[in-house]
A = this chain, B = another copy of it.
Amino acid sequence: MTDTLLITNCTILAEAASSLTANGFLKAAGGVISDIGNMSRMPSAEGVMVIDARGKLLMPGLINGHNHCAMTLFRGLADDLELAAWLHDHIFPAEATHVNPDMVYWCSKLAAAEMLLSGTTTVADGYFYADSVAGACRDAGLRAVVGHGIIDFPAPGVPDPARNVETVERFIDAWAERDPLITPAVFAHSPYTCSPATLIRAKNLADRHKVRFFIHLAESRQESGMLIDPRGTSPVRHLRALGLLDPNTVCAHSVWLDDEDLDILAATGAHVVTCPQSNLKLASGTARVGDMLARGIHVGLGTDGCASNNSLDMFREMAMLAKIQKLQTLDATALPARQALTCATTGNAALLGLPRLGKLAVGCRADLLLLDLQAPHLTPFYNQDLLVYAGKGSDVHTVIVDGRIVVQDRKLLAFDLEETLSEVEKIARVLQRNTQPTNTRGQKNVN
């Protein structure tokens, strides 16, 4: 099989805010885009795998800037609860008992399946047993920046918190050059679960290995009062005082920021990944995304773990981002659709330090989607804004990651989905027997 791919006869959206190009082609070789243009100058198809994409839109793969893949197991286990009750009465106890390398592998692979089928080609993850996360994404054919978790209490795979940073260093060493799809990273959970000393060691580790440093920051209104040994009056000021804010730091959520916090983030070059659906579902609030962008802060978009969403479909997330910012400002021109598309593509690519993702241009990685436009909800298709306001993950027909076709005709090619569904169902049945969650009324496949 050739590693050269030629996609023909498609409408092309090369970048979030580009004009659409009708009647285009794209060529990729060795996982890299080697040519793109109008059919009138289509290159030779000899020795090349050709995909006729008539009636389809070719666009960059979407990037999910913040996830905890393995939490698919807890999706729908405990909905409509306060953050504290959700976390302490349901999620933490379930995690304490049910998180192991096997669970993380299968549940992350399930997340990979959902993401690939809905057009995500890269995910930034943060969890424990990161080795299993990385293995699952690699086996699924999904590009991933895999952050290994750090907290100051016993965690899955890290029973002794004194060893949390060294455990992550071993993970980074193991995956640094192992697979072209996988980039290791450091995920310090938050300033209310990590001491200043731990945060500083974690950040130094990330910088020393030139990998990204992720952290949950200012997710809830209560967080300022929960900081461990606070060095500032807000989570952002705390991190600045510790010297942790710079362009290698990616803050997730960042809902509760005042103007000074925003100025600090902008001045230091730290990035933000916003997770609007999770922030709504847990009633955390709405991030000031417009104010961030106005200050030049890089803003990306993520779903968060699907226990608090409960979907990993980035089309849904883009729609929510564009709409919720309009409500927050009561301004219908706020955060236009193309900005949401930018956050989910080049925005996330930039903050993950992977600038050759998120757009279609010669030299960029061949992470591509073909969308079927022949659908009632995409008709008429005046322009790409409709992808945000009416598009769905299920419109994704073909997915290519690093030049390899991983989804075709809405079916996963890279691995056996049935096996993954069945393994997760098995784990979920054990969880149900052990926890008997009060809101669980039934289960599929019981017959």
Residue of chain B at shortest CB distance from A412: B376
Shortest distance from the beta carbon of A287 to any chain B beta carbon, whole Å: 12
Q: Assess whether B75 is in contact with A390, with CB atoms less than 8 Å apart.
A: yes
Confirm or deny: A383 has a beta carbon within 8 angstroms of a beta carbon on chain B: yes
Confirm or deny: A29 has a beta carbon within 8 angstroms of a beta carbon on chain B: no
Stretch from A211-219, A246-254, A323-331 at the B interface? A323-331
Partner of A310, one of B86, B316, B386: B386
Q: Assess whether B82 is in contact with A389, with CB atoms less than 8 Å apart.
A: no
For A19, the chain B residues whose CB sits under 8 A away are: 441-442
Q: Assess whether B55 is in contact with A311, with CB atoms less than 8 Å apart.
A: no
Shortest distance from the beta carbon of A423 to any chain B beta carbon, whole Å: 10
A residues 85-115 touching B (CB-CB < 8 Å): 86, 110-111, 113-114
Query: Whole-angstrom distance between the alpha carbons of A60 and B309 in the complex?
Result: 24
Which interface class (under 10, 10 to 19, 20 to 34, 35 or more) fits A?
35 or more
For A330, the chain B residues whose CB sits under 8 A away are: 283, 285
Confirm or deny: A159 has a beta carbon within 8 angstroms of a beta carbon on chain B: no
Partner of A440, one of B327, B329, B383, B442: B383
Q: Assess whether B380 is in contact with A75, with CB atoms less than 8 Å apart.
A: yes
Q: Assess whether B443 is in contact with A80, with CB atoms less than 8 Å apart.
A: no
Q: Assess whether B110 is in contact with A327, with CB atoms less than 8 Å apart.
A: no
Shortest distance from the beta carbon of A114 to any chain B beta carbon, whole Å: 4
Confirm or deny: A264 has a beta carbon within 8 angstroms of a beta carbon on chain B: no
Q: Assess whether B445 is in contact with A377, with CB atoms less than 8 Å apart.
A: no
Most buried by B among A73, A286, A320: A320
Q: Assess whether A382 is in contact with B313, with CB atoms less than 8 Å apart.
A: no
Query: Whole-angstrom distance between the alpha carbons of A75 and B381 in the complex?
Result: 8
- Contact code string A263-307 (vs B, CB < 8 Å = 1, else 0): 000000000000001011111011000000000000000000010
Confirm or deny: A45 has a beta carbon within 8 angstroms of a beta carbon on chain B: no
Q: Assess whether A425 is in contact with B376, with CB atoms less than 8 Å apart.
A: no
Confirm or deny: A54 has a beta carbon within 8 angstroms of a beta carbon on chain B: yes
Q: Assess whether B383 is in contact with A76, with CB atoms less than 8 Å apart.
A: yes
Shortest distance from the beta carbon of A22 to any chain B beta carbon, whole Å: 4
Q: Assess whether A76 is in contact with B377, with CB atoms less than 8 Å apart.
A: no
For A279, the chain B residues whose CB sits under 8 A away are: 327
Partner of A385, one of B76, B329, B331: B76
Given known A82-B333, A310-B386, contact A280–B379 (CB-CB < 8 A) = no
Partner of A80, one of B336, B421, B424: B336
Q: Assess whether A392 is in contact with B394, with CB atoms less than 8 Å apart.
A: yes
Confirm or deny: A79 has a beta carbon within 8 angstroms of a beta carbon on chain B: yes
Q: Assess whether B444 is in contact with A57, with CB atoms less than 8 Å apart.
A: yes
Q: Assess whether A392 is in contact with B393, with CB atoms less than 8 Å apart.
A: yes
Partner of A333, one of B81, B277, B312, B432: B81
Residue of chain B at shortest CB distance from A378: B444
Confirm or deny: A447 has a beta carbon within 8 angstroms of a beta carbon on chain B: yes
Partner of A383, one of B110, B334, B428, B442: B442
Q: Assess whether A390 is in contact with B447, with CB atoms less than 8 Å apart.
A: no
Q: Assess whether A385 is in contact with B80, with CB atoms less than 8 Å apart.
A: yes
Q: Assess whether B447 is in contact with A384, with CB atoms less than 8 Å apart.
A: no
Q: Assess whether B390 is in contact with A440, with CB atoms less than 8 Å apart.
A: no
Query: Whole-angstrom distance between the alpha carbons of A264 and B331 in the complex?
Result: 30
Given known A11-B442, A55-B444, contact A76–B110 (CB-CB < 8 A) = no
For A312, the chain B residues whose CB sits under 8 A away are: 377
Shortest distance from the beta carbon of A256 to any chain B beta carbon, whole Å: 11
Residue of chain B at shortest CB distance from A323: B280
Confirm or deny: A51 has a beta carbon within 8 angstroms of a beta carbon on chain B: no
- Contact code string A404-439 (vs B, CB < 8 Å = 1, else 0): 000000000000010011001100100110000101
Confirm or deny: A204 has a beta carbon within 8 angstroms of a beta carbon on chain B: no
Partner of A447, one of B22, B75, B322, B393: B22
What 7 pairs across the A-B complex have the smallest Cβ distances? A20-B442, A394-B394, A380-B428, A23-B447, A114-B376, A280-B323, A22-B446
A: which residues have CB within 8 A of B? Answer: 9, 11, 19-23, 39, 54-55, 57, 72-73, 75-77, 79-83, 86, 110-111, 113-114, 117-118, 277, 279-283, 285-286, 306, 309-313, 316, 319-320, 322-324, 326-327, 329-334, 336-337, 373-374, 376-386, 389-390, 392-394, 417, 420-421, 424-425, 428, 431-432, 437, 439-447
